[in-house]
RNA sequence: GUCCCCGUAGCUCAGUAGGAUAGAGCGCAGGAUUCCUAAUCCUGAGGCCAGAGGUUCGAAUCCUCUCGGGGACACCA
């Protein structure tokens, strides 16, 4: 629809330019959709933008533009008029709008998709929790947003890979191993205090019990290091499986599980050096390292960051930042055109240092984007659900998913802009009523299914032969809303903002419900009925496509 | 102290590469069903877009400052 407006207006402007002998009249035609019906279906502010160049008042320029519109305007518009300071408002013919339904029907599941990404390879890395415990609510927002961004980019013509970076190296993992070992020893009556920042959750005891069941007391004979390593590796395997399962239960699936230990800290087949020592050498060759106080520093300040950072600690062990640089170099080397990381907002300070590091080794950091996700507060009965990570008592992803279901879980985590804090209202999430926006949308989809079943009983089938009969304001509004979907999807892809799709679906569902209450689809007049069935087929297609993008199911009946 | 996010209706939030009289859901007060699912719809009340300056034809949106809420500023991850 908008393309039609752009098309006729630019033709007009071009003609004016020619007539007045103005060469640089080129201007981007911005098509707006007025909020108020009196201002028509579409409006254009072009006259105000080029008034200066022409040397006339905006309203006079608008007059000129209208005079020079091409002939086809008569087929498209009921009227075109000037308003306000110089807007041109277009009132589109109902028939021209309704005929666009054919595009939706033809495209079907593809309606809304685009080639915005032009096949570019994108890596979306998200969740990337270290496997030392279960995923909690914070992870769940990261998971759902990351997954949905990936779906939206796929639908927009990008070649997307979803990756989970398994943070399985370093101190945290060793602590996990030690914690499990202590619980294991407890089972044999050896009492020992957990370290200060050890893992206190019940699952640590469960894993210890499992080891006892499998290995008996044999670990007690091993050296502390051997035993702890065994515990660590076993716990890692178990927890990773739990993480995968929890994510799969909310429809989050990954293409790659990238282990830090295996890929960054281990010598690979094609090289005799680890990626970790390679990156160190590379940074060194760029002259961006410096030894100070027994540690090795990256001079990030030379690349615009506010401070320098340690890469190798004075005890000789690498920081995770060094591994992170190696990991991100690897992302570039794997040939991704765009690299998107989804991080919790508490990591925002790491963005500038990683970008600095990428620049220091000659990589284009504009291809690297970090999506920062703000925190989730779980609310029950109007109060925040207390979480204490220290005591090991936090609400897990699994608990909430089981309580409210995957559909509600996903939608609630998607319905706010990622950069806003999100209150997750458990009471609302469990309500099976109109208050719950998930059901509101799904109900619209199911209602359409119900109409089809009725139509089948009556022996009426849809047809595009009588679309001109669709002229009630409610149905025109519905069509217009449907036609907006590709634009919403594109906008959402450009801004990496899934909530825009969620909002759109609520508006679309609302428009459908209005229509349903106003216009009877299965009616005596078979011609109208067939046209209306055609319309609601399109509505169901768009609702379905949108829900699929969000990873939410679309039920045939409720 | 430096940096990031936020401040819009009673509540939760959209709207921010500047557009016309600022939106939705919930909550509140009323109303609609002999007919495709009332998990729906309709009507109404409710606003100094935190505040103050600035930029211009035009600002919730851009710039500066102030105030308030959250977060980050490790030889942790």
State how far the Cα of A541 lies from the Cα of A489, in Å rounded to an integer.
14
pLDDT of residue A72: 87
pLDDT of residue A485: 95
ipTM of the complex: 0.94
Whether A471 shows a pLDDT value over 80: the answer reads: yes
Largest alpha-carbon pair distance within chain A? 97
Render pLDDT for A222-270 as a digit per residue (tens, 0 to 9). Answer: 998 999 999 999 999 999 999 999 999 999 999 999 999 999 999 887 7
Whether A348 shows a pLDDT value over 90: the answer reads: no
pLDDT of residue A393: 56
The 3 state secondary structure assigned to A226-273 is HHHHHHHHHHHHHHHHHHHHHHHHCCCCCCEEEEHHHHHCCCCCCCCC
Render pLDDT for A6-37 as a digit per residue (tens, 0 to 9). Answer: 889 988 988 888 888 876 677 778 888 887 77
Ordered structural domains, chain A, with CATH? 2-92 (3.30.1360.70), 101-116+434-550 (1.10.730.10), 171-249 (no CATH), 265-373 (3.40.50.620), 376-430 (no CATH)
Residue A420's nearest CA partner among A376, A369, A370 is: A376
Q: Stretch A298-317: mean pLDDT, rounded?
A: 91
How many Å apart are A420 CA and B52 C1'? 26
pLDDT of residue A389: 52
What distances in angstroms separate CA A217 from CA A203, A214, A222, one per listed residue? 20, 9, 10
pLDDT of residue A402: 92
Q: In chain B, which nucleotides are within 7 Å of a protein Cβ?
A: 2-6, 12-16, 19-27, 32, 35-42, 57, 69-77
Half-sphere exposure of A545 (CA within 13 A, CB side): 26
How many Å apart are A484 CA and B26 C1'? 26
- Greatest mean pLDDT among A80-84, A195-199, A554-558 lies in A554-558
Q: Stretch A333-356: mean pLDDT, rounded?
A: 92
Are A547 and A505 in contact by the 8 Å Cβ rule? The answer is yes
Q: Which nucleotide is nearest to A451 (CA to C1')?
A: B36
How many Å apart are A31 CA and B18 C1'? 15
pLDDT of residue A419: 83
Q: Give percent of chain A with pLDDT exceeding 70.
A: 98
Render pLDDT for A496-542 as a digit per residue (tens, 0 to 9). Answer: 999 999 999 999 999 999 999 999 999 888 999 999 999 999 999 99
**Strand partners for A435:** none
How many Å apart are A226 CA and B74 C1'? 30
pLDDT of residue A481: 94
pLDDT of residue A227: 94
pLDDT of residue A98: 94
Whether A382 shows a pLDDT value over 90: the answer reads: no
pLDDT of residue A387: 64
Indicate the pairing of strand A309-312 with strand A295-298: antiparallel
State how far the Cα of A414 lies from the Cα of A418, in Å rounded to an integer.
8
Residue A318's nearest CA partner among A170, A128, A168 is: A170
- Which pLDDT band holds residue A147 (cuts at 50, 70, 90)? very high
Q: Tell me, what DSSP letter sits at residue A494?
A: H
Q: Determine the distance from the C-alpha atom of residue A440 to the mean position of all C-alpha atoms in its chain, rounded to a whole number.
A: 21
Whether A390 shows a pLDDT value over 80: the answer reads: no
Q: Give percent of chain A with pLDDT exceeding 90.
A: 66
Contacts of A94 (CB under 8 A, 6+ apart): A470, A471, A476
Whether A484 shows a pLDDT value over 90: the answer reads: yes
Q: Which nucleotide is nearest to A345 (CA to C1')?
A: B71
3-state DSSP assignment of residue A352: helix
Q: Stretch A267-277: mean pLDDT, rounded?
A: 85
Minimum-distance residue to B3 (CA–C1'): A349
Half-sphere exposure of A115 (CA within 13 A, CB side): 2
Are A470 and A479 in contact by the 8 Å Cβ rule? The answer is yes
How many Å apart are A35 CA and B49 C1'? 18
Minimum-distance residue to B27 (CA–C1'): A435
Q: Which nucleotide is nearest to A45 (CA to C1')?
A: B19
How many Å apart are A33 CA and B45 C1'? 28
Q: Stretch A188-203: mean pLDDT, rounded?
A: 87
Long-range contacts, stretch A309-315, CB < 8 angstroms, 24+ apart: A309/A353, A311/A280, A311/A283, A312/A280
Sign of torsion, CA A273 A276 A282 A285? negative
pLDDT of residue A105: 96
- Which pLDDT band holds residue A115 (cuts at 50, 70, 90)? very high
Name the packing angle between helices A137-155 and A526-550 (round to 10°).
Answer: 130
A202 burial level (CB within 10 Å; 0-12, 13-18, 19+) = exposed
Whether A271 shows a pLDDT value over 80: the answer reads: no
pLDDT of residue A55: 80
Residue A307's nearest CA partner among A370, A349, A348 is: A349
- Mean pLDDT over all residues of chain A? 91
Contacts of A28 (CB under 8 A, 6+ apart): none
Whether A388 shows a pLDDT value over 70: the answer reads: no
When mean pLDDT is compared across A168-182, A383-397, A465-479, the lowest value belongs to A383-397
């Amino acid at each position: 629809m908008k393309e039609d407006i752009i098309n006729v207006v630019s033709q007009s402007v071009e003609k004016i330019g020619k007539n007045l002998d103005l060469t640089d009249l080129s201007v981007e035609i911005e098509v707006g959709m007025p909020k108020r019906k009196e201002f028509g279906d579409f409006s254009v502010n072009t006259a105000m933008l080029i008034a200066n160049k022409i040397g006339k008042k905006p309203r006079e320029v608008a007059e000129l533009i209208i005079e020079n519109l091409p002939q086809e305007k008569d087929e498209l518009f009921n009227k075109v008029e000037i308003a306000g300071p110089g807007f041109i408002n277009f009132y589109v013919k109902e028939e021209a709008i309704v005929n666009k339904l054919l595009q939706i029907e033809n495209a079907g599941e593809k309606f809304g998709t685009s080639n915005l990404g032009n096949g570019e390879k994108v890596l979306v890395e998200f969740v990337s929790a270290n496997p030392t415990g279960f995923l909690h609510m914070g992870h769940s927002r990261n998971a759902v947003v990351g997954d949905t961004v990936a779906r939206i980019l796929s639908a927009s013509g990008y070649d997307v890979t979803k990756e989970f970076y398994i943070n399985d190296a370093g101190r945290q993992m060793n602590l996990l191993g030690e914690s499990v070992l202590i619980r294991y020893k407890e089972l044999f009556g050896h009492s020992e205090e957990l370290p200060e920042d050890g893992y206190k959750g019940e699952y640590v005891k469960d894993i210890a019990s499992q080891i006892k069941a499998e290995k008996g007391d044999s670990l007690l004979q091993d050296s502390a290091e051997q035993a702890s390593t065994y515990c660590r590796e076993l716990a890692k395997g178990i927890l990773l499986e739990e993480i995968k399962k929890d994510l799969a239960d909310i429809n989050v699936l990954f293409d790659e599980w990238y282990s830090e230990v295996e890929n960054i800290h281990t010598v690979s087949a094609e090289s005799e050096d680890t990626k970790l020592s390679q990156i160190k050498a590379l940074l060194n060759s760029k002259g961006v390292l410096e030894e100070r106080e027994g540690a090795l520093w990256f001079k990030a300040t030379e690349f615009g960051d506010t401070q320098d950072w340690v890469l190798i600690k004075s005890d000789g062990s690498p920081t995770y930042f060094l591994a992170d640089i190696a990991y991100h170099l690897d992302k570039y080397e794997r040939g991704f055109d765009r690299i998107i990381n989804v991080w919790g907002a508490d990591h925002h300070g790491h963005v500038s240092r990683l970008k600095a590091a990428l620049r220091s080794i000659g990589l284009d950091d504009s291809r690297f984007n970090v999506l920062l996700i703000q925190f989730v507060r779980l609310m029950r009965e109007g109060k925040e659900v207390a979480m204490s990570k220290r005591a090991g008592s936090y609400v897990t992803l699994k608990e909430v998913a089981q309580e409210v279901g995957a559909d509600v879980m996903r939608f609630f985590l998607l319905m706010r802009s990622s950069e806003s804090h999100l209150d997750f209202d458990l009471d609302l999430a469990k309500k099976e009523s109109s208050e719950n926006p998930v059901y509101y949308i799904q109900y619209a989809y199911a209602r359409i299914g119900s109409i089809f079943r009725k139509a089948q009983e009556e022996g009426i089938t849809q047809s595009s032969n009588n679309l001109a009969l669709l002229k009630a304001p409610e149905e025109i509004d519905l069509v217009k809303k449907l036609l907006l979907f590709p634009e919403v999807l594109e906008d959402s892809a450009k801004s990496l903002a899934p909530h825009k799709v969620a909002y759109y679906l609520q508006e679309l569902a609302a428009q459908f419900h209005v229509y349903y209450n106003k216009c009877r689809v299965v009616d005596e007049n078979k011609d109208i009925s067939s046209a209306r069935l055609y319309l609601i087929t399109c509505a169901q297609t768009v609702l379905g496509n949108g829900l699929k993008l969000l990873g939410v199911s679309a039920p045939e009946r409720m």
